[in-house]
């Protein structure tokens, strides 16, 4: 499996509601991540992605664009990072892990579940009153 980590602190406003340049960059990053996967996407009919719950709306847009551009079906599982981490430790067959923190992907790497991790996005905390 190939894991990536997401270091995004999601604010109370849904900053990913509209497709923006930022989302277009995330779509490109997602496609590049999949293409770097040791199992070529071209040989797969679908990919399985574990997605932290705070990234649902943005990921749905990214997955739809990815499916449209590649023809590869994206099967997403949305849950807390901790639950996804436990599932992976117990053998869940995810191709990509989009985590809400750095700790869990690092632990999975140390435990031998992946060859490496990297940060592909950063967010900001915004106080809204």
Give per-residue pLDDT as tens, 44-85. 688 999 999 988 988 998 889 888 888 889 999 999 999 999
Question: In the chain, what are the domains?
Answer: 4-122 (3.40.190)
Specify the pLDDT at position 32.
60
Q: How confident is the model at residue 127 (pLDDT cuts 50, 70, 90)?
A: confident
- For the stretch 14-30, pLDDT in tens is 334 444 555 656 655 66
Higher pLDDT, 41 or 90: 90
* SS3 labels along the chain: CCCEEEECCCCCCCCCCCCCHHHHHHHHHHHHHHHHCCCCHHHCCEEEEEEEHHHHHHHHHHHHHHHHHHCCEEEEEEECHHHHHHHHHCCCCCCEEEECCCHHHHHHHHCCCCCCCCEEEECCCCCCC
């Amino acid at each position: 499996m190939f894991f990536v980590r997401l270091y995004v602190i999601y604010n109370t406003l849904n900053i990913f509601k509209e497709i923006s340049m930022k989302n277009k960059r995330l779509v490109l990053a997602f496609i590049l991540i999949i293409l770097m996967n040791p199992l070529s996407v071209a040989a797969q009919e679908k990919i399985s992605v574990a997605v932290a719950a705070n990234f649902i709306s943005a990921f749905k847009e990214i997955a739809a664009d990815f499916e449209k551009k590649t023809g590869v079906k994206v099967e997403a599982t949305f849950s807390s990072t901790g639950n996804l981490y436990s599932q992976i430790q117990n053998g869940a067959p995810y191709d990509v892990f989009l985590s809400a923190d750095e700790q869990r992907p690092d632990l999975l790497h140390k435990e031998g579940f992946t060859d490496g991790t990297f940060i592909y996005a950063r967010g900001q905390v915004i106080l809204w009153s």
